[in-house]
Chains A and B, each alone.
Chain A
Amino acid sequence: DVKVTQSSRYLVKRTGEKVFLECVQDMDHENMFWYRQDPGLGLRLIYFSYDVKMKEKGDIPEGYSVSREKKERFSLILESASTNQTSMYLCASGSLALSGANVLTFGAGSRLTVL
């Protein structure tokens, strides 16, 4: 089974702290994504990466950055956390090469609370 593992299920941080959310996949997928999920807003794309060291902004990149130094790992960074970044963060990976469509496999999610 494809596995996408997010390092933390629940985090509580203080305003202004630097936050790292880690995501690792084990199926050699070239594409990785970070989404933010909020009630009534669905999933919104923050950043994605289609190759090592490559990154593209999604719909809501402000206040976030990402890092992809290895193919299997994609990190989301909040340089200075704010209360409006309290949310559920979902990591996903996918491969166009395997199926012709970017079928995504999701991690379990990281629920971040910023106080």
Chain B
Amino acid sequence: AQTVTQSQPEMSVQEAETVTLSCTYDTSESNYYLFWYKQPPSRQMILVIRQEAYKQQNATENRFSVNFQKAAKSFSLKISDSQLGDTAMYFCAFCNSGAGSYQLTFGKGTKLSVIP
């Protein structure tokens, strides 16, 4: 079974600074997907970014980028120019690829606070 570990239960960052959230996972599969989801306080969970394991290039979405290290099974999220609206719970998630691969496995989350 796959496991996803987020070792930082809580983090804080000053507005406009850069922060990196850590995620490691364990799998014996070679093809899979990795995701970061964001859950703002009392609001809906939304997808931030996703990475396909067969792609060596790290995914980026505006101020959000990942550092995907396949051999190390590491998938960290970097948030640049942090904004107050980035305050949220962030969940790392893993999903096998291919037919029949329905389940996402989530980490326990990192609570990020952006300080003015």
Chain A residues within 8 Å of B, Cβ to Cβ? 31, 33, 35, 40-43, 45, 48, 50, 56, 58, 90, 92, 96, 100-109
A48 B97 Cβ-Cβ under 8 A: no
With both beta carbons as reference points, the residue of chain B lying nearest to A35 in the complex is identified as: B106
- Is B64 close to A, CB under 8 A? no
Contact of A41 among B43, B45, B104, B108 (CB under 8 A): B108
Expressed in whole angstroms, the minimum distance between the Cβ of B48 and any Cβ of chain A is: 11
Number of A-B contacts (CB under 8 A): 52
Given contacts A40-B108, A56-B102, contact A101 B95 (CB under 8 A): yes
* Residues from chain B with Cβ under 8 Å of A35 in the complex: 106
Contact of B106 among A31, A43, A56 (CB under 8 A): A43
Range of interface residues on B (Cβ < 8 Å): 20 to 34
B107 A42 Cβ-Cβ under 8 A: yes
Chain B positions 7 through 48: 1 when the CB is less than 8 Å from some CB of chain A, otherwise 0:
001000000000000000000000001010100000111110
- Is B68 close to A, CB under 8 A? no
- Which of B33, B99, B102 is the most central at the interface, judged by chain A CB atoms within 10 Å of its CB? B102
Chain B residues within 8 Å of A, Cβ to Cβ? 9, 33, 35, 37, 43-47, 50, 52, 91, 95, 97, 99, 101-104, 106-109
* Residues from chain B with Cβ under 8 Å of A108 in the complex: 43-44
* Residues from chain A with Cβ under 8 Å of B47 in the complex: 103-105
Given contacts A42-B91, A42-B107, contact A31 B102 (CB under 8 A): yes
* Residues from chain A with Cβ under 8 Å of B35 in the complex: 103
Expressed in whole angstroms, the minimum distance between the Cβ of B35 and any Cβ of chain A is: 7
With both beta carbons as reference points, the residue of chain A lying nearest to B103 in the complex is identified as: A45
* Residues from chain A with Cβ under 8 Å of B52 in the complex: 101
